[in-house]
Amino acid sequence: MPTSDLRTLYAAHLAVLETRAQEALARGGFDHLVVPSGSLHYQLFDDRDYPYAVNPQFKAWLPLTQVPDSWLVYTPGDRPKVVYHQPFDYWHVVPEAPSGVWTEHFDIAVIRTPEEALQHLPKNAARCAILGEAQSALGGYAPNNPQAVVDYLEYHRAYKTPYEIATMRQAQRKAVRGHRAAERAFRAGASEFGIHLAYCQAVGQDAVELPYRNIVALNEHGAVLHYTELGRLPPKPARSFLIDAGASHHGYAADITRTYAADANGEFQALIDAVDATQQKIGQLYRAGNDYKRVHLDAHLLLACVLKDFGIVDLSPEAALETGVSSAFFPHGLGHGIGLQVHDVAGFAESDRGGKIAKPEGHPYLRLTRVLEPGMVVTNEPGLYFVDLLLDALKQGPQAGAVNWDRVEAFRPYGGIRIEDEVLVTDGDPVNLTRPAFAEAA
């Protein structure tokens, strides 16, 4: 993206954040928004630090993910301020001097020790809404995370600004580079670990920079929803490959899943194609005004059709949903909001004043129960899996007779299928953010 476009988009994004912050502060009865970037955490009884994870409330304002012990200060009516920690340190690489399109919008105070931040924070700590972790407390400035302020900001973070969407598209492009390299590595016979390394190399990100741990699953491992073991030896034969892997760009996440079959003419490939077609059909339901709880249930009905078409389950889609049989094969939520966090906040928020929208009964893993609205970016990730634990329970239950167990046994060695894209909800048709990135790279 040309810098001039980015500059314009970022300025508009910041204006939205300022407006949101003004309302959030008014609701909480505070004068200043103060956000520490967070600091390093150390392992117990050890001097080794964990990978640093920036406070999402901080990176919402700034494309800065590696400046621990820094602060954002916003007082309505004033220019926002960044207290930028750039220590004198010859043990580590320190953050570079502030640069980038954000710098022209902020007053910037560079500090050399964390304690120096104190002189740059608003004088009256009691008038500050301080959003951060307890460990960030400095002098009299301890994070208070006022509920009214947090509820308001988190609720509205579901609606992405054009800057955020442009940034998320960049994250998609990076992740797609990794996915293409990963498929090549699978087809060349690599192990899960080898595929993971090929993925990181192509994305240009180390595991700790990715927005979540890569799921690289060959054969039966595809049935473990969050399989992160990374086997060091390739199985023989490698029949199938499920990869759920993302990338980060300026603090924003991509979250993409693809599934591949070694045999392009086999039945597992046909099942992948059917799930893929169903996923695209489901994507058409990502429309403003649609209740996401309903979309999730509609996805069950559509996947139940696939189970029936492939002779795996002999039940009407409605009966498969009703009896929980569809959940045995699709045991997770259809999707979740995504942005600064791979599982974005406020998925259940009833309003910007709090409250919680319950999940549909029998669907404990759904992460989004809100009505879809323009600006939301939500993953679309249906799947069908052959999970021993769930199949054993199904076999013991009253619906055992509705399942063709020979068909289940035939698919079990392939693990499972998930296809995951990000979809932007608009005033009109849904906009898939992931598929154009694959098309562009092809």
Whether 130 contacts 34, CB under 8 Å: yes
Residue closer to ligand GLY by CB (options 131, 303) is 303
Please give the Cα distance from 12 to 9 (Å, whole number): 5
Q: Give first-to-last CA distance, the chain, whole Å.
A: 20
The one among 52, 159, 193, 212 contacting ligand GLY by CB under 6 A? 212
Site string for Mn ion, 326-365 (x = CB under 5 A): ----------------------------------------
Residue 58 beta carbon to Mn ion: minimum distance, rounded to whole angstroms:
23
Whether 259 contacts 296, CB under 8 Å: no
Residue 264 beta carbon to ligand GLY: minimum distance, rounded to whole angstroms:
26
Query: Is 107 a known ligand-binding residue?
Result: no
Residue 257 beta carbon to Mn ion: minimum distance, rounded to whole angstroms:
5
Residue closer to Mn ion by CB (options 255, 352) is 255
Using alpha carbons, select from 271, 330, 270 the residue that is nearest to residue 300: 330
Query: Is 381 a known ligand-binding residue?
Result: yes
φ and ψ of 252, to 5 deg = -105, 150
Please name the helix (run of DSSP H) or strand (run of DSSP E) that holds residue 108, with its range, or none.
strand 107-111
Judged by CB under 5 A, does residue 379 bind Mn ion?
Answer: yes
Whether 297 contacts 360, CB under 8 Å: yes
Judged by CB under 6 A, does residue 154 bind ligand GLY?
Answer: no
Q: Which residues are paired to 111 by β-bridges?
A: 85
The one among 69, 164, 381, 421 contacting ligand GLY by CB under 6 A? 381
Site string for ligand GLY, 339-378 (x = CB under 6 A): ----------------------------------------
Please give the Cα distance from 129 to 36 (Å, whole number): 11
Buried b (16+ CB within 10 A) or exposed e, 337-372: bbbbbbbbbbbebeebeeeebebeeebeebbbbbeb
Residue 209 beta carbon to ligand GLY: minimum distance, rounded to whole angstroms:
15
Joined together, the tokens standing for residue 264 give 């392009």
Which residue number has the CB closest to ligand GLY? 244
Residue 302 beta carbon to ligand GLY: minimum distance, rounded to whole angstroms:
19
Region 413-432 residues binding ligand GLY, contact defined as CB under 6 A: 420
Whether 66 contacts 76, CB under 8 Å: no
Residue 394 beta carbon to ligand GLY: minimum distance, rounded to whole angstroms:
24
Whether 275 contacts 303, CB under 8 Å: yes
Query: Is 318 a known ligand-binding residue?
Result: no
Region 418-437 residues binding Mn ion, contact defined as CB under 5 A: 420
Judged by CB under 6 A, does residue 255 bind ligand GLY?
Answer: yes
Query: Among ligand GLY, Mn ion, none, what binds residue 212 when CB lies within 5 to 8 Å by partner kind?
Result: ligand GLY
Query: Is 116 a known ligand-binding residue?
Result: no
Three-class DSSP category at 325: helix
Query: Is 244 a known ligand-binding residue?
Result: yes
- Chain centroid to Cα 370, Å, comes to 17
Query: Among Mn ion, ligand GLY, none, what binds residue 344 when CB lies within 5 to 8 Å by partner kind?
Result: none
Residue closer to ligand GLY by CB (options 267, 276) is 276
Residue closer to Mn ion by CB (options 192, 255) is 255
Residue closer to ligand GLY by CB (options 164, 381) is 381
Judged by CB under 6 A, does residue 69 bind ligand GLY?
Answer: no
Residue 411 beta carbon to ligand GLY: minimum distance, rounded to whole angstroms:
21
Residue 245 beta carbon to ligand GLY: minimum distance, rounded to whole angstroms:
8
Residue 366 beta carbon to ligand GLY: minimum distance, rounded to whole angstroms:
12
Judged by CB under 5 A, does residue 244 bind Mn ion?
Answer: yes
Query: Among Mn ion, ligand GLY, none, what binds residue 151 when CB lies within 5 to 8 Å by partner kind?
Result: none
Q: In what order do the strands lie in the sheet with 377-380?
A: 377-380, 421-424, 431-432
Task: Give the other-Cβ count within 10 Å of 6's Cβ.
Answer: 18
Please give the Cα distance from 394 to 375 (Å, whole number): 40
| Cβ partners under 8 Å of residue 297, min gap 6 | 321, 360, 363
Please give the Cα distance from 169 to 434 (Å, whole number): 8
Query: Among ligand GLY, Mn ion, none, what binds residue 69 when CB lies within 5 to 8 Å by partner kind?
Result: none
Long-range contacts of 196-204 (CB under 8 A, 24+ apart): 196/230, 199/243, 199/245, 202/177, 202/178, 203/174, 203/175, 203/177, 203/178, 203/247, 204/174
Residue closer to ligand GLY by CB (options 141, 241) is 241
Residue closer to ligand GLY by CB (options 9, 256) is 256
Binding-site positions for Mn(2+) read 244, 255, 336, 381, 420
Which residues of this protein are in contact with Mn ion, per CB under 5 A? Answer: 244, 255, 257, 379, 420
Which residues of this protein are in contact with ligand GLY, per CB under 6 A? Answer: 212, 244, 255, 381, 420
